Chain A
């Protein structure tokens, strides 16, 4: 993976000192509250219900084991011994003190990490496919391009005070695992008819209050002009995005207001002035960055591979885990392993410091000392030799991280909700607990097949509920916490927004309703039909009838 040079290190070190001085001046009363708020947000520091919350950037989800150990150490020293992985591949700490943040940032800088632009109205961490560079269905590795975007966007002087936050996601395979269609900019790497590699550029996707699927502004962009094109989009947005109402300030609102054609025209006009300038990436720079992502020294298939059939018979649970939690690797003899952060006891995405240290050690032993975070709040060991899988599985069990539920109902996305978040309308963690208690029969979950359940505690949609196959949104009605269901959303290639089921559901009825929804699916499905396919075929009506026909206790 990418390693800092002196240049990168200087930038991050100086940024830490800059923020240290800002914190000092704020505590001395020299920076007004509302101004420091913006400054700290640009460094990932929120003030939440119970304490500040620090979000640390994991650029496009890639980490070295040494970095994860530092995160574990930070959670021990400055926090309560755990962290929370987010849907944008970052990690959050819920309990640091404001005064300690400069020291935390200094510790992070020692392992080439930071919290720059993890919040605020600026360009955020670029996200991508957690299987980039290793998956069998990949067209082109996205990581060098993400790194180039990371560098260009970091402390970009012109785009630090945008109308609102700005998120970029890059996908480079035939299966979009980066939710690229619900980002402010989605980039798709692909080969055009003449076999050249380039980007399709989507703009104006996003969730939150006004969920929108991104629209194409450019069908094919020569990769050397990636940064000039991004700069053109950002400049048009910076100058024209609404600033009078923060709920209407995202780029999606601008695109919808003036129309994609007018927007495209503005971007293209600006881009004419930017392409072929110093923003054009020289081939040598592209090659330099690509050089960091050449892949580890894989063993030959004979050495790495192993016939697992006998092991499967001996350890049926291992066979199940292999089926659910590992994926095809482009290198013969290797598997991609997903480490689910979805056991019965911890909140989705939460990891304890012991688990962080444990996973770091497993990455050292089995996966070339690297690991990744995913947008569905799991971790990935990307390069595991087949012959090591059993040993890895046994050790994951010791960490309580071997639950074979990837892609199932209990592999849910869950925002922190009212337990931690000051914007929340309702609790969400209580739902994941109830769901885990109610649906504890794994065979039933396997039988249901792939179901993406996504839960947000308010309309800001941090839990991506609009694009869940089943989405749950917490709302407050008359002092009560109730929940709205949507069905049929997706963040993949066939991205779509879920349709509302009907009236809100009371908290103690949420698992009942999930059960009813699943019953309808099981009763009506055709052979090999997934839940999502069925919802698309039959629509919402059969679910509505089942839930509201028999279920009288839904809230008004």
Chain B
């Protein structure tokens, strides 16, 4: 599975965590832990624990489940600086929007061509609304 991270094809990176956030909450915890989450988890507790986590992998069980977009946006709003990785049903046609709301890493679905996917970041270069990428409408510039 190819990974795009910080707008490049990544070869050397941490594995996608297998421990689910809900399990991690009941576990021994250490700074720098990484977790896997999705829209079913309790978002307020995720936001409250984020500062202990170095990576939060948000899973898209199906591409049509848009909850992960709001989750990433809210994590960044709270100042989370660690990696937010999109995993699951992740295809090139969504990574630009994902990037805008705060994801910085994308584990692409198997059928995706990684080099082609990279060209999709910034495919639409102007934006009508502020988001986690700090870009926004002309009047904000």
Contact = CB atoms under 8 A, between A and B. Distances in A.
Interface string A228-272: 000000010011000100000000000000000000000000000
Contacts of A439: none
Contacts of A18: 123-124
B117 to A, nearest CB: 12
B63 A35 contact: yes
Contacts of A163: 66
What secondary structure prevails in chain B residues at the interface with A?
A: loop
Interface string B84-117: 0000000101101110110000000001000000
B82 interface: no
Contacts, number: 102
Contact of A159 (B39, B66, B93, B96): B66
A15 B39 contact: no
A350 B101 CA distance: 41
Contacts of B96: 157
Given A161-B66, A243-B65, A35 B125 contact: no
B52 interface: no
Counting chain B residues whose Cβ lies within 8 A of the other chain, the interface size class is 35 or more
A273 interface: yes
Contacts of A235: 70, 73-74
A447 interface: no
B2 to A, nearest CB: 15
Interface in B101-141: 101, 111, 123-131, 136-140
Interface in B33-53: 39, 43
B133 to A, nearest CB: 9
A158 B71 CA distance: 9
A59 to B, nearest CB: 13
A156 B100 CA distance: 9
B131 A158 contact: yes
A286 to B, nearest CB: 10
A137 to B, nearest CB: 32
Contacts of A38: 63-64
Contacts of B69: 157-161, 238
A35 B63 CA distance: 8
Nearest to B138: A7
Given A157-B131, A288-B139, A10 B64 contact: no
Nearest to B61: A243
B38 to A, nearest CB: 11
Contacts of B77: 273
Contacts of A518: none
15 contacts: A18-B124, A32-B111, A35-B91, A38-B63, A121-B64, A121-B66, A151-B129, A157-B100, A158-B101, A161-B94, A239-B67, A243-B39, A243-B64, A277-B130, A278-B136
Interface of B: 39, 43, 63-67, 69-71, 73-74, 77, 91, 93-94, 96-98, 100-101, 111, 123-131, 136-140
Given A15-B124, A285-B139, 14 more contacts: A7-B126, A11-B124, A11-B127, A38-B64, A121-B66, A157-B98, A157-B101, A160-B97, A161-B64, A161-B94, A235-B73, A235-B74, A239-B71, A273-B77
